[in-house]
Amino acid sequence: MLNSLHLFLFMNKTGFYKKGAEAELSEVLNNGERALSKKRLSKGYRNKKLDDKIRKERTRSEARLLREASLVVNTPKIQKVDENETEIVMEFIGGVPLKEIIEKKPFLCIEAGACIKKIHDIGIIHGDLTTSNIIFIDKPNSEEFKERVKSRGNLFFVDFGLGFFSKKLEDRATDLVVFKKTFNATHSSLKNGWDLVMRGYAPGKELSERMNAIEKRARYH
């Protein structure tokens, strides 16, 4: 799956562009303003009718997840959804992936954990939690952006393409275990990094035990 905000690392004369296995991301103009288009790609190996159905459903689902998540954490605002074109156009937020600055700002681990807890509490499973899919905004470029950062912090969550709605303990625990695996692999030099994430999330005993059980299952399979 494409790590969305890697897009911000690529610039050419026509703007940002990145193509992955599931979608292509490109900079566009929407009502004269800089925006980001995410368009799901057709799969040639699938029956066309089924492929169209799947891409439309995933486009609709991701748009809904973004809207719901935006009630509790920062996300890019959706400007347009075109299910027939399987495209979501959203605001271009800029910033840098948390992956690039977290080792210089380890306190952001706590903020990230707290934000993930907020998402889980309203029944959203991100499905692809990585520090590439969390964006740090250091210098908001508008008064409206400043207010969002002031009220909810500097982190923005993106790429809900693998997400879904669930309040099941197993799903929340799995989301965290997957994040833990990628986090520790990517930031092995960050001392107590994952402990800081968990400090922000503050999981209860039942969730912690389920995470441990999932990790044990993974080791023996």
Alpha-carbon distance 166 to 163, whole Å? 9
Looking at the DSSP bridge assignments, the partners of residue 97 are 135
Phi then psi for residue 16, to 5 deg, are: -75, 145
Q: Is 128 a catalytic residue?
A: yes
Closest CA to 41 of 20, 63, 18: 20
Catalytic position from the list 51, 52, 82, 128: 128
Alpha carbon 183 to its chain centroid, in Å, reads: 14
188/174 Cα distance (integer angstroms): 20
Please say whether the beta carbons of 172 and 69 come within 8 A. Answer: no
How far apart CA 46 and CA 24 sit, in angstroms, is 18
Give CA–CA dist 134/157, Å, rounded. 5
Q: Which residue has the tokens 């029956």?
A: 47
* Distances, alpha carbon 6 to alpha carbons 18, 20, 105, 122, 135, in Å: 8, 11, 19, 27, 10
Active site residues: 128
